Chain A
Amino acid sequence: GAGVSQSPSNKVTEKGKDVELRCDPISGHTALYWYRQSLGQGLEFLIYFQGNSAPDKSGLPSDRFSAERTGGSVSTLTIQRTQQEDSAVYLCASSSLGEAKNIQYFGAGTRLSVL
């Protein structure tokens, strides 16, 4: 596709349930990032994948959060045993190599509501 694609666009779940959020980056982009934006806050870094290297998980808020990237393309962010404080917009971004590697392109996000 032309841009970063995320699904679902909205997800409502009950506290304690697991959720999976999907990101399809721009074709050819080797780097993939997950961020989240809670109400009234800026975007908060979660995790970063670059090619086949081990991901940078330094932003994950707890061990309930995990992510994987299969085949260097699509990524899935999983939140286990969701809590109300997990409610936020989860945004995925990708970037290419070379001079443009500093510029990240974002998807429209998944709005997660934990009841």
Chain B
Amino acid sequence: DQQVKQNSPSLSVQEGRISILNCDYTNSMFDYFLWYKKYPAEGPTFLISISSIKDKNEDGRFTVFLNKSAKHLSLHIVPSQPGDSAVYFCAASAALAGSYQLTFGKGTKLSVIP
């Protein structure tokens, strides 16, 4: 039973346009959400996170939106750059319950076309 779902295995976007990556979760105990970026043969790199007490967090070109009622979050990348091409993983934890282990989605492969 997947508790974190990324329903789009891949996404292609033109350079300069917006990339929107989506993530859904089922566990109501999740209260902290993270996005990681992964290049081939490298470990995941932390990108941005959001606590459940917020609905938006922004860091440069990256913004994460959280809709708790829909159990949905999204990552927006504006403008997209060719170097953003990677696999993006959504992850969640139940930090307030003392469970810091991350539950990951299967990832979305983003391709930014020059």
Whether both chains belong to one complex is answered with yes
CB distance from B60 to the nearest CB of A (A): 17
The total number of A-B Cβ pairs within 8 Å is 57
Q: With an 8 A cutoff between CB atoms, is A71 at the interface? A: no
Q: How many residues on A have C-beta within 8 angstroms of the other chain's C-beta atoms?
A: 27
Q: A42-B89, A102-B95 are in contact. Are A59 and B101 (CB under 8 A)?
A: yes
Q: Which listed residue (B45, B49, B95, B107) contacts A42, Cβ 8 A?
A: B107
Q: With an 8 A cutoff between CB atoms, is B53 at the interface? A: no
Q: A40-B106, A45-B103 are in contact. Are A104 and B43 (CB under 8 A)?
A: no
Please classify the interface of chain B as helix (H, G, I), strand (E, B), loop, or mixed, using the class held by over half of its residues.
strand
Chain A residues near B100 (CB-CB < 8 A): 31, 48, 50, 95, 101-102, 104
Complex CA gap A42/B95 in Å reads 20
Q: Which listed residue (A4, A42, A48) contacts B43, Cβ 8 A?
A: A4
Q: How many residues on B have C-beta within 8 angstroms of the other chain's C-beta atoms?
A: 23
Could you show 17 A-B contacts with beta carbons less than 8 Å apart?
Answer: A4-B43, A31-B100, A33-B101, A35-B104, A40-B106, A42-B4, A42-B104, A42-B105, A43-B91, A48-B100, A95-B100, A101-B95, A101-B100, A102-B49, A102-B95, A104-B46, A106-B45
Residues of B within 8 A of A (CB): 4, 32, 34, 36, 41-46, 49, 89, 91, 93, 95, 100-107
Besides A31-B100, A42-B106, A106-B45, 8 other CB < 8 A contacts? Answer: A48-B100, A56-B101, A101-B95, A102-B95, A103-B49, A106-B43, A107-B43, A109-B43
